[in-house]
Amino acid sequence: MASPYRAIFGRPGTKSFSAAGLLGRMTLSMMGIGIVTMVSQLTGRYGLAGALSATVALSAAGIGPQISRLVDRHGQRRVLRPATLMSLAAVAGLLLSAQQRWADWTLFVFAAFAGCVPSVGSMIRARWAELYRDSPRELHTAYSWESIVDETCFIFGPILSIGLSTTWFPEAGPLLAAVFLATGVFWLTAQRRTEPVPHPREAHTKGSALRSRGLQVLVGTFVATGAIFGAIDVVTVAFAEEEGHKNAASLVLAVYALGSCLAGAVFGLLHLKGRPSRRWLVGVCAMAVSMVPLQLVHSLPLMAVALFVAGLSIAPTMITTMAVVEEHVPRAKLTEGMTWVSTGLAVGVALGSSAAGLVVDAAGAERGYLVPGAAGVLAALIAFTGYRRLRPGAAANGAAQPVAYGAGTDRTRDEEPVA
């Protein structure tokens, strides 16, 4: 491990809560693609598979920020455990209804409640922010580490989920995802020493963290970005099946995540100067451009290469996003603010996977890659349009406080009211 990464684990409890976060986040990379694989195996209907995956994602998008808002107010342990139990019960119902071939509407009912899942990544980043609130460089490295963990999940999660569902039994992938979620959340919430201090009063002053105009831009952009991710998952599974190697879809998606993981590891070693908002804009545009080669590739090996290149822009953009969030969201609402970004991604994943499933059913997998291409263009347009809201001077007057800016310098950030 490079020295900057070794340094952040010098505080007691950091290795343990990061490991718990790794397990808890495996479900993020396994559940959606696991549902797509399970339903396509059982019914052969990619439209239904994408719609169910979208339902879970939309449910998480609607419920997740509310869970995080309660966490800011009452603490992680008191909120995460009951929320996780509710999600696990719904997943069990979803798997049972799929296995028993119950009516489609029962699948959607359970899928809607399965989204009652906490944003484990936001919980872990909130712990890092609590530990290194006065150490910008260390916090930048910690956020970079967590992006590496995210991508590690996306390297191995699809392999496990698709592999188990195609070689063992169709429900195996989502089942293991549920096991990982339970293990990670209950292990994490047992660690009280590093849990951020709740803010029972401050967490509900001036309404939701989404009042920040800067956060609104981030969320809107990541709806389109999430559509890229959701569409690529669905289309790549279908593309691999058309090529006669459905099992290889997990390896191709793992290569996509590997590109992001490597880029994130290098990015965490850098201490860049300048505005994070500018780097964020460049990252979003790079993701959009990286979708172009996908339209030109007609074989699975070349698709893996194209997705590896596309993955290089993901982790650096997400790391920079966390720095921008801290500029525009009060510390008492930091968990909620981070979760809103995840919510934008989840909504986008829902829309992208659903749209991609319909396009694949109607026109085939190769045409399906038009969906992430269009989503990339939309993400760049939203980012350009809202960029001025992200500049340091765009925040309204208020009680400023130091924040890790992600570039090795101290800055201030205020809450920004709706105009």
What are the pLDDT digits (tens) for 184-201?
Answer: 999 999 998 888 877 665
Distance CA 122, CA 130 (A): 12
pLDDT for residue 331 is more than 80: no
CB distance 414 to 211 below 8 Å: no
pLDDT at 167: 84
pLDDT at 396: 41
> Token digits for 400?
């400023």
Under the banding of pLDDT at 50, 70 and 90, the label for residue 42 is confident
Distance CA 384, CA 386 (A): 6
Q: Which of 52-66, 155-169, 361-375, 394-408 has the lowest mean pLDDT?
A: 394-408
Distance CA 219, CA 215 (A): 6
Domains, the chain, with CATH or none: 12-195+208-395 (1.20.1250.20)
pLDDT for residue 181 is more than 60: yes
CB distance 36 to 232 below 8 Å: no
> Token digits for 77?
């342990």
pLDDT for residue 206 is more than 80: no
Average the pLDDT over 78-86 and give the result.
89
Residue among 271, 233, 254, 252 at smallest CA distance from 351: 233
Which amino acid, 135? S
More confident residue, 25 or 396: 25
Under the banding of pLDDT at 50, 70 and 90, the label for residue 104 is confident
CB distance 176 to 161 below 8 Å: yes
